[in-house]
């Protein structure tokens, strides 16, 4: 027999199982090189099935055992780059992003202490191909290039148009969103990572005295 109590219990169980399946957190790491602040990036391993060789920030999916999205960002940074949790000083959180595939991304900006050179990193080469840095001032003086991505929905031949009034076989829907690109030397930073950078630069609102 269907009861309100059974429905309520089913929804609670479902929530527990899916609470973090579509959420992730990333760290925007700041390191100091020759008295200038840089952002630290990683290039994804060629062996990965999802976006191999793309430039990104350290991060990943929020796991059920993680106490918070902030902890996820720190944990993933340690797992990918070997940076200890007590070296990661969180400076603040940027607005969350919703990726085109529905993932909710929580970005955290952090200063990395006691990292004198990139060779000190313990890189997990199963996930990370290489690392590099870009001065924050460079992003301030080099706005991103902007392109447009269209996402379309077109019904299949078996779509039941007879059940929906005022729709024909020519009906389709599409949306669009902005895609940012930064090109620094031989590196192209684009997509969600570039969106996060653009948000970060807009928020700090600092002039050439930076």
Residue at 149 is within a domain:
no
Q: What is the pLDDT of residues 96-133, one digit of tens each?
A: 988 766 789 999 999 999 988 888 899 999 999 999 99
Banded pLDDT at 171 (limits 50, 70, 90): low
Is it the case that residue 140 has pLDDT exceeding 70?
yes
Residue at 114 is within a domain:
yes
Residue at 43 is within a domain:
yes
Cα end-to-end distance, the chain, whole Å: 67
Q: How far apart are CA 39 and CA 33, in angstroms?
A: 10
pLDDT score of 1: 82
pLDDT score of 53: 72
Q: How far apart are CA 9 and CA 13, in angstroms?
A: 6
Among the residues of the chain, which ranges form H helices?
A: 4-18, 69-81, 136-141, 191-204
Q: What percent of the chain has pLDDT over 70?
A: 87
Contact of 28 with 57, CB cutoff 8 Å = yes
Q: How far apart are CA 12 and CA 116, in angstroms?
A: 48
> The domain spanning residue 40 has which CATH number?
3.90.79.10
Mean pLDDT (the chain) is 86
Residue at 101 is within a domain:
yes
Residue at 179 is within a domain:
no
Residue at 210 is within a domain:
no
Instruction: Provide the domain limits for residue 54.
Output: 7-142+189-204
Banded pLDDT at 210 (limits 50, 70, 90): very low
Banded pLDDT at 164 (limits 50, 70, 90): confident
Q: How far apart are CA 136 and CA 36, in angstroms?
A: 8
- Specify the number of domains making up the chain: 1
């Amino acid at each position: 027999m269907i009861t309100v109590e059974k429905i309520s219990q089913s929804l609670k169980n479902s929530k527990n199982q899916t609470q973090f399946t579509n959420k992730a957190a990333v760290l925007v790491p700041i390191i100091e090189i020759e008295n200038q602040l840089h952002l630290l990036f990683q290039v994804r391993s060629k062996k990965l099935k999802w976006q191999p060789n793309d430039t990104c920030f350290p991060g990943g999916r929020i796991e059920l055992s993680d106490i918070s999205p902030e902890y996820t960002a720190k944990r993933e940074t340690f797992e990918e780059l070997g940076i200890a949790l007590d070296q990661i000083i969180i400076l603040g959180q940027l607005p969350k992003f919703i990726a085109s595939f529905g993932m909710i991304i929580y970005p955290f900006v952090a200063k990395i202490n006691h990292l004198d050179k990139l060779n000190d990193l313990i890189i997990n080469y199963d996930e990370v191909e290489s690392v590099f840095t870009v001065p924050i001032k460079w992003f301030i003086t080099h706005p991103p290039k902007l392109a447009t991505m269209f996402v379309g929905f077109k019904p299949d031949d078996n779509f039941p148009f007879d059940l929906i009034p005022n729709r024909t076989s020519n009906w389709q829907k599409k949306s669009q969103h902005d895609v940012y690109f930064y090109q620094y030397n031989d590196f192209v930073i684009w997509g969600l990572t570039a969106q996060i950078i653009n948000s970060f630069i807009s928020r700090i609102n600092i002039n050439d005295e930076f």
